Amino acid sequence: MHPLPAKPEALRWLPLLVAAAFFMQLLDATILNTAIPSIARSFACDPLQLHSLVTAYMLTVCVLIPASGWVSDRFGMRRTFLTAIFLFTLGSLLCALSTSVEMMTACRVVQGIGGAFLMPVGRLAILRSYPRWMFVKVMNFVTIPGLLGPLLGPVLGGILVQYATWHWIFLINIPVGIAGFWATRRFMPDLHAVKAQKFDWKGFLLFSGSAVLLSVSLESAHGMPDKLHMAVLGSAGVLLQLLYWLFACRSGAPLFSPALFRIRNFAIGIAGNLVCRLGGSCLPYLMPLFFQVALGFSAFKSGLFLLPLALSNLLAKTVATRLIKTLGYRTIMILNTVTIGAMLVCFAFITQSSDDLTLLALLAVLGAANSVQFTCMNTLTLIDLPDEYASSGNSLLSMIMQLSIAISIAAASLLLDALGGQDAGRSSDDVMTAFHATFVTIGCLCALSSLVFSRVDRNKGKGGIRRSASPEKADGTGPEEA
């Protein structure tokens, strides 16, 4: 038996350290959404125009995910994790001190740089510190606090906003970050790769530049004068994406190999993730705004009403694997995407006079359906990857997921703008109509992804999920079920 690379004391505390980092990051991701209307009042702006606070963070994480494994190998795991905690904590402090939307957006980018490395490097530390027979057990322990973050975030955000100020949603990260910094210096093993891998910087810049331009093009489109700006940025993003794949076809070691898309289920999974997540990934941002801006809920009530969404999401994970084994991927994902689309369309009938129980029931069904769908999409995408493509394919999936969230939020805001939800002289009825039309649009888009999943083999997944590649390979960037 080979000796473990970390000391026994480190092995005892490392899972707790990584779990705390996951929890801090996922709590921060959900706690902000509830506070957006309060932040808007503080900055004297429209809450429907503050999507940049969310997308700036998501886009930064998306862009830097592919580099996380190489950076930790090059500079050491402990140093990388320390830097990630420091930047995330510093960004939190700067966000709390922000005096304008532009300043806070820039500070969210600083947070995103740290957040981009927390999860991948934490997983990598677990992967390289424990024998394979312990890995699944340790990762299950690590992910439980992460699942609690989306459950507690909206409620805690509502409490802090209503009974303190929005600044505290960022300030609570500081003592956690300080404790994490000390614990990392004390317990994180300073592991390096056995052999340094060459990084595809040209591919990284082309692919990341494309992602940024495509997202920013949607961010810039508010009013007719900006449509040309949107078209130019979007076209530049598409051009960089085409250049990347032309370069990748000729490269000996590309960032993401074109050979990945010769694997049928990987190609279907990536396409389905894009379409389905573009429709539904804006919900954590859109729902608190709908509750507070359109329905007139307080921040605390808004947070409470998001509990069924997060709780059913958590509980549904316990049955997702059994559903796949019984029905197979194709049947579940077709039925599920149609269900998600239908639930979203149902929100077009929710008004200030609607019964609370009806709203809570819709949210519970939507949360469960989303949970099953994300589990199915993630495992289908990775299930047939051979070992040599596991790391690259998994990183691409993680990047696509983060990019889809950023674009989905920007697109939802653009829809609200186009439908009159952000007009200066709008009435409350105009706002409600804009939200209703937005829900119908994203619901139809989500339901359309069932056409993509109809390409999956009818019997795929029935009888048990057999994986030819682990999603936790090489760089440790396993997929998040956002």
Based on the domain organization, do 213 and 185 belong to the same domain?
no
pLDDT at residue number 9: 58
The answer to whether residue 195 sits within a structural domain is: no
Query: Could you give the CA distance from residue 217 to residue 410 in angstroms, rounded to a whole number?
Result: 9
Based on the domain organization, do 307 and 347 belong to the same domain?
yes
pLDDT at residue number 130: 73
Query: Could you give the CA distance from residue 183 to residue 2 in angstroms, rounded to a whole number?
Result: 26
Closest CA to 146 of 317, 61, 27: 27
Based on the domain organization, do 172 and 246 belong to the same domain?
no
Which amino acid is located at 60 in the chain?
T
Where the chain has pLDDT below 50, the residues are: 1-4, 223-225, 424, 467-482
The answer to whether residue 292 sits within a structural domain is: yes
Based on the domain organization, do 289 and 380 belong to the same domain?
yes
pLDDT at residue number 239: 94
Based on the domain organization, do 106 and 238 belong to the same domain?
no
Based on the domain organization, do 310 and 426 belong to the same domain?
yes
The answer to whether residue 454 sits within a structural domain is: yes
Based on the domain organization, do 271 and 242 belong to the same domain?
no
Contacts of 27 (CB under 8 A, 6+ apart): 149, 152, 153, 156
Query: Could you give the CA distance from residue 388 to residue 379 in angstroms, rounded to a whole number?
Result: 17
The answer to whether residue 388 sits within a structural domain is: yes
Nearest-Å Rg of the Cα atoms of the chain is 22
Which amino acid is located at 352 in the chain?
Q
Condensed to tens digits (0 to 9), the pLDDT of residues 129-188 reads 777 666 657 766 776 666 677 778 888 888 888 888 999 999 998 998 898 888 888 888
Closest CA to 28 of 179, 172, 162: 172
Helix runs in 251-355, H state only: 264-280, 283-289, 299-305, 307-327, 329-346
Based on the domain organization, do 284 and 337 belong to the same domain?
yes
The answer to whether residue 430 sits within a structural domain is: yes
Residue span of the structural domain in which 231 resides: 201-254
Domain boundary among 219, 234, 254: 254
Query: Could you give the CA distance from residue 369 to residue 358 in angstroms, rounded to a whole number?
Result: 17
The answer to whether residue 194 sits within a structural domain is: no
The answer to whether residue 438 sits within a structural domain is: yes
Which amino acid is located at 449 in the chain?
S
Q: What is the full DSSP assignment across 1-41?
A: -PPPSS-HHHHHHHHHHHHHHHHHHHHHHHHHHHHHHHHHH
Here the CATH number for the domain that contains residue 357 is: 1.20.1250.20
pLDDT at residue number 477: 37
DSSP, res 292: I
pLDDT at residue number 94: 95
Based on the domain organization, do 397 and 460 belong to the same domain?
yes
Based on the domain organization, do 213 and 301 belong to the same domain?
no
Dihedral of CA 340/346/351/356: which sign? negative
Based on the domain organization, do 309 and 452 belong to the same domain?
yes
Please give the structure tokens belonging to residue 344: 């979203």
Domain boundary among 189, 214, 231: 189
pLDDT at residue number 132: 60
Query: What's the structural domain count of the chain?
Result: 3
Query: Could you give the CA distance from residue 406 to residue 280 in angstroms, rounded to a whole number?
Result: 11
Closest CA to 257 of 270, 272, 244: 244
Condensed to tens digits (0 to 9), the pLDDT of residues 191-216 reads 665 555 678 888 899 988 998 888 88
pLDDT at residue number 136: 59
pLDDT at residue number 89: 93
Based on the domain organization, do 224 and 114 belong to the same domain?
no
Domain boundary among 254, 279, 294: 254
